[in-house]
């Protein structure tokens, strides 16, 4: 894995990434592909259960809950979404007003 790459389960709530590799095999792999976990797809970790498992991910306008063990097999490249940067800049401008 490269520095900016991590397992999907390693994203924190609110972080985004792009699917780089789907390491799962068999029926689980096919199910994840059917749900939209294909190379290049954008995914955002929305929140997790109080115990931390499972976590909810937004992918292709659908919210999908995955166990950490299943999300560990999906490699993503982390990035900062344009929307989160815009929200942060707006908040900073409001704070300085």
Is residue 88's pLDDT more than 80? Answer: no
Average pLDDT for the chain: 84
Residue positions counted in the chain: 97
Distance of alpha carbon 83 from alpha carbon 62, whole angstroms: 18
Is residue 44's pLDDT more than 90? Answer: yes
pLDDT, position 75: 95
Contact, 24 vs 73, CB < 8 A? yes
Is residue 4's pLDDT more than 70? Answer: yes
Query: Mean pLDDT across the stretch 44-53?
Result: 91
pLDDT, position 58: 96
Is residue 2's pLDDT more than 60? Answer: no
CB-based contacts of 24, cutoff 8 Å, min separation 6: 32, 70, 73, 74
60 backbone φψ class: left, alpha, beta (φ>0; ψ -120 to 50): left
Is residue 55's pLDDT more than 50? Answer: yes
pLDDT, position 89: 45
User: 5-96: what CATH class?
Assistant: mainly beta
């Amino acid at each position: 894995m490269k520095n900016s790459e991590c397992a999907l389960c390693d994203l924190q709530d609110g972080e985004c990434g792009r699917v780089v590799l789907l390491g799962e095999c068999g029926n689980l792999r096919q199910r994840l592909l059917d749900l939209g976990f294909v190379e290049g797809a954008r995914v955002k970790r929305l929140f997790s259960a109080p115990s931390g498992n499972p976590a909810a991910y937004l992918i292709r306008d659908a919210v999908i809950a995955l166990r950490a063990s299943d999300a560990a097999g999906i490699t993503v490249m982390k990035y900062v979404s344009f929307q989160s940067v815009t929200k942060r800049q707006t908040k900073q401008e409001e704070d300085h007003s």
